[in-house]
Structure 1
Amino acid sequence: MSLFPISAQIISKFLTKSRINYCQVATALRPKKSKSTRKEAQYFSDAKRVRAIGGKGGDGCVSFLQLWCNERAGPDGGDGGNGGHVIFQASNDVRNFNHVNSVLQAAEGGIGSAKECHGKNAKHTVIKVPVGTVVRNAEGLIVADLGSVDLMFVAARGGAGGKGNRFFTTDKETSPKVCEYGPAGEDMSYMLELRSMAEVGLIGFPNAGKSTLLNALTRAKPKVAPYAFTTLRPHLGTVQYDDHVQLTIADLPGLVPDAHRNKGLGIQFLKHAERCTLLLFVLDASAPEPWMQYKQLMHELEQFGGRLAKRPHLVVANKMDVESSASNFEQLQQQLQHPELLGISAKMGHNLAKLLTNIRVAYERHKEQQRQ
């Protein structure tokens, strides 16, 4: 959430300059409560490899009925119960895969017993996953796209219950002494991926100030430290506007040159960025030649392929509170000639209100283009 209110004059001036005619642009709200005091950082899991094992079917029973009037009343062994399935269900109750275990084991079916008592069928193990989850099999092929609420996918079927000796009774074999064991359930491996992780993804070199920026804009608490690769997993925060719209901002791990060749976090980082609707390039204005950071970032996105390099993006120059940043910012404007380049200081809170306005305008512009 924003720490500063945004005046209507700033919004109208920005919209006139960029020639965008929206009837309303909402104002980012102040956070209503303080940040959590817990020390553990909560990361965001947007992909997870799981192993789904269906429940074993119950064994059949060998039994013969004995009555007071007939000691050989015939076979009465019951069948075993069916094993449970492992099912993925799309739900709005969860946002990521932090709650999903690496091994998902369904319950076993009950065994059969005498007097033709069948074993109990096991309950299915239903795992809730976020809406928009894509399920890939071991070969990497998409086998399920859970794009709507309550949509289900059976990941591993449980084994059927084994037959008791009552089932094998025939005219010729009236006293069978055989039964079936319950077969094991399916054992499958899957890769769960989120189609969309956040509306805005922060992209930049290590120590560009991405975690500090997320800390200043939202109630998220990513780890902030003066060394490279402080962020190893994505962290998410939410910005709320006065028209009840919420935009999620993701702090992604730092990108290094040759990331498309899997250097550093490599392909994993680029896949995180691929799940963001809007990209926000965070450049270190205090570094020498900060425009080279932007060119290197764009080069990595282009080499990764797909439409990632053509995704709508904004550019901000962070650390404007440092003395050397002022001269670097002027050269950065000349080199990039980006119409929406903005100088900010996440540490001091400079220009964060205008940044939130730019984010909302760019997001609404992207939505309008998608409708057309």
Structure 2
Amino acid sequence: MTEGNFTDYVKIFAESGNGGKGSVHLHREKYIDKGGPDGGDGGRGGHVIVRGNENLWTLIHFKYQKHFKGGHGEHGGSSRSTGADGKDTYLDVPLGTVIRDFETKEILFEITENGEEKLLLEGGKGGLGNWHFRSSTNQTPRYAQPGIPGKDGAFLLELKLLADVGLVGFPNAGKSTLLSVITSAKPKIADYPFTTLKPNLGIVQYRDFQSFVIADIPGIIEGAAEGKGLGHYFLRHIERNSTLLFLVPADANDIAEEYNILLKELREYNPELLDKERLVVISKSDLLDDELKTELKAELDETLEGIPYMFISSVAQQNILELKDRLWKMLNPTTDSTPS
């Protein structure tokens, strides 16, 4: 999946099918001149249904088709035959998709499981045929119900990535480089801010054929929680991560201060994000000698207030396996030992 193909926010229009008309028909048969009513019911209009698909990672397919319509129900026939139901229309979405009403922005539902189906718009009911309206005083009713029209509306589809670990950091902190080292993902990497403009997902292959998913969230800037830059678009992807990995480069002016600013942005966006497991990782640590590391450790022990931290270097491959071990244990706290 390339960065240009990642789409996580789309507006669509949907319309369910109309119900078919009930039939007005009187039974006719050889030797029976005046049969009773036998008009059948109209068929139900087609639903519009949203369905989870674990093979999708983006909403790119909605970028080119934005209008969806359920089939109309067929009209009732003679001999009490019911019209066929209209064809249902399915919208396949990646797991982690939130569906909102476009006008009110109200969340209608979320799709989080493969094969999960949610009714977006119900098809119109078919009308009753005249057979239903016979009575002792009206034995040949010559009327039937029309079908109920379908519903329509505009909706927002919003993808929140389902990943185990979310990489959080300022632009140019080395998140994409780390992702490329510990996974098979190939994110765009360059030595300038905002190289990553879309989230990247990678699968970390761990011991004993185990794996977990890590997401490189585009760099957060100060004021992101208020929507500065693309703050809200970036931050929503962190909501579903069970563990947050804060990446701060070793050449930062003040490592603890950068971490606190990132923490502040998450708190202002959604205080519940602070309930997640956290790990602070100092990247580019190959730039540090032993003396500087010792000084930094003493400072971080005091300022991070018990939050675990570690030093790594993606380029020099320092402590990468140890980082995987640490993340695995955070994601699987009930596991007694590290897989061999």
Which TM-score bucket, shorter chain as reference? 0.7 to 0.9
**Equivalent residue in structure 1 for 2:277, among 306, 312, 318:** 312
Question: Is residue 20 of structure 2 the alignment partner of residue 58 of structure 1?
Answer: yes
Alpha-carbon contact 2:59-2:93 (below 8 Å) kept: no
Q: Structure 1 pair 125/97, CA: closer, same or farther in 2 (3 Å)?
A: farther
**SS of match in other structure, 1:198:** coil
- CA distance, structure 2, for counterparts of residue 42 and residue 131 of structure 1: 17
Asked if structure 2 preserves the Cα contact closer than 8 Å seen for 1:58 and 1:108, the reply is: yes
Partner of 1:365: 333
Quote the offset at 1:124 in angstroms. 3.8
The answer for the alignment partner of 2:43 in structure 1 is 81
**Aligned CA distance change for structure 1 residues 188 and 334 (closer, same or farther; 3 Å):** farther
Question: Is the aligned partner of 1:122 residue 2:98?
Answer: no
**In 2, Cα distance between the equivalents of 1:328 and 1:190?**
54
Q: Please give the per-residue CA displacement for 1:195-250, whole angstroms capped at 9, x wherever unaligned.
A: 87211110001111111211111111222234433323322111122234321111
**1:238 matched residue in structure 2:** 203
Contact 2:329 2:335 in 1 (8 A): no
Structure 1 CA distance for aligned equivalents of residues 138 and 316 of structure 2: 88
User: Which residue identity does 2:165 align to in structure 1?
Assistant: V
Query: Residue deviations 1:54-73, cap 9 Å, x none?
Result: 32211234455666767765
In structure 1, what is the Cα distance between the partners aligned to 2:292 and 2:101? Answer: 49
Distance 1:168 1:317, change over 3 A: same
- Is the 8 Å Cα contact of residues 183 and 205 (structure 2) preserved in structure 1? no
Q: What one-letter code is carried by the residue in structure 1 that aligns with 2:85? A: N
Are 2:300 and 1:336 aligned? yes
**Structure 1 position 135, deviation (Å):** 6.0
**Equivalent position to 2:125, from 160, 165, 175:** 160
1:105 equivalent to 2:75? Answer no
Structure 1 SS opposite 2:208 = coil
Q: Secondary structure at the match of 1:276?
A: coil
- Distance in structure 1 (CA, Å) of the matches to 2:276 and 2:131: 65
Question: More deviation in 103-112 or 293-302?
Answer: 103-112
Q: 1:255 to 1:277 in 2, by over 3 A?
A: same
For residue 307 of structure 1, give the secondary structure of its aligned residue in structure 2: helix
Residue 74 of structure 1 contacts residue 174 of structure 1 at CA under 8 Å; is this kept in 2?
yes
| Unpaired segments ≥5 residues, structure 2 | none
Q: Contact 1:155–1:188 (CA<8 Å) still a contact in 2? A: no
Q: Distance in 2 between matches of 1:251 and 1:43?
A: 13
Q: Distance in 1 between matches of 2:142 and 2:191?
A: 74
Which range moves more in the overlay, 256-265 or 343-352?
A: 343-352
Residue type at the aligned position of 1:84: G
Q: Deviations over 1:313-363 (max 9, x none)?
A: 112222345x5x558756543432257433323234333222212222333
CA contact (8 A) 1:44 1:235 kept: no
Secondary structure at 1:365 match in 2? coil
CA distance in 1 between counterparts of 2:141 and 2:45 reads 25
Which ranges of structure 1 fall in alignment gaps of 5 or more residues?
A: 1-37
Mark the CA change 1:71 to 1:265 in structure 2 (over 3 Å): closer, same or farther.
Answer: same
Across the aligned residues of Structure 1 and Structure 2, the Cα RMSD in angstroms comes to 3.9
Q: Is the 8 A contact 2:161 2:238 kept in 1?
A: no
Q: Could you tell me the TM-score, scaled by structure 1's length?
A: 0.70
Shift in Å, 1:185: 2.5
TM normalised by structure 2 equals: 0.76
Structure 1 partner of 2:250? 285
- The alpha-carbon distance between structure 1 residues 207 and 148, as it changes in their structure 2 partners (threshold 3 A), is closer
Please report how far the alpha carbon of residue 251 of structure 1 lies from its aligned counterpart in structure 2 after TM superposition: 0.7
Question: Which whole-Å CA distance do the structure 2 matches of 1:244 and 1:270 have between them?
Answer: 31
* Change in 2 beyond 3 A, CA 1:61/1:364: closer
Question: How many residues in Structure 1 have an aligned counterpart in Structure 2?
Answer: 327
Partner AA of 1:307 in structure 2:
E
Secondary structure of 2:273's aligned partner = coil
Q: 1:1-372, aligned counterparts within 5 Å?
A: 43=6, 45=8, 53-63=15-25, 77-88=39-50, 93-94=54-55, 96=57, 98=59, 101=62, 104-114=68-78, 116-127=80-91, 152-170=117-135, 173=138, 176-187=141-152, 197-321=162-286, 326=289, 332-337=296-301, 340-365=308-333
The question of whether the paired residues in 2 share the 8 Å contact of 1:288 and 1:328 is answered with: no
* Deviation digits for residues 41-64 of structure 1 (CA, Å, limit 9, x no counterpart): 66485x776655432211234455
In the alignment, the residues of structure 2 paired with residue 331 and residue 296 of structure 1 have an alpha-carbon distance, to the nearest angstrom, of 22
CA shift, 1:39, in A, is 6.1
Question: CA separation of 1:220/1:196 partners in 2, compared to 1, >3 Å: closer, same or farther?
Answer: closer
What amino acid is the match of 2:188? Answer: K
